[in-house]
Structure 1
């Protein structure tokens, strides 16, 4: 499983790189703040909404601490998607939120 740190994600965004970020936390968790531009697909719905994702794109999976996003990453990898898990999740995120 590919992994990226919250600091690396923030650096890429600050450098103007366009990232496809999927936040797999629950709706109420995301309401408290998410990475700008992140799309919320709660972990329990990933299997049912993966058709919304494009296999030709790369995705960064995010959750609170890295566990749920890790499970989503493993599942989507198995389905042929190009995904990377953001380790340590939003607990370690120091960048902007919306």
Structure 2
């Protein structure tokens, strides 16, 4: 499984980021440009994930995104897990939006 740090993922121009957290988690903190498909919905919605570019997968701490990355890779998607999830993204001082509706 391919992985990338939050800092390196943020540095990718026009990165397609997939957030696999639940709706309530997005209400607390989110990346404004990320695409949202909760992990539990991913199998049913996998056709929404692009296959013509790299997809960077994010969750809270890296566990669910690792599962999603492995699943997507098995489906032929060039998927990369963002290590440490949004927790490490925040700790690295990278931009997030907190509170409010997702």
Q: Normalization by structure 2: what TM-score?
A: 0.87
The answer as to 2:9 corresponding to 1:32 is no
1:65 match: secondary structure: coil
- The one-character-per-residue Cα deviations of 1:30-69 (angstroms, maximum 9, x if unpaired) are 1112122001100000111111122111100000000000
What secondary structure, in the 3-state scheme, does the structure 2 residue paired with 1:80 have?
coil
TM-superposed CA distance for 1:10, in Å, is 2.4
Count, aligned residues = 94
Report the more deviating stretch, 31-40 or 69-78: 31-40
Unaligned runs of 5+ in 1: none
Q: Distance in 1 between matches of 2:57 and 2:50?
A: 14
Structure 1: distance between partners of 2:50 and 2:11:
24
Q: How does 1:29-68 map to 2 (within 5 A)?
A: 29-68=25-64
Secondary structure of 2:29's match?
Answer: coil
* RMSD value, Cα: 1.0
Secondary structure of the residue that 1:29 maps to in structure 2? helix
Question: How far apart are the structure 2 equivalents of 1:11 and 1:83?
Answer: 16
The answer as to 2:69 corresponding to 1:70 is: no
List, as ranges, runs of 4+ consecutive aligned residues in structure 1 with deviation greater than 4 Å. Answer: none
Q: For 1:54 and 1:89, how far apart are their aligned partners in 2?
A: 21
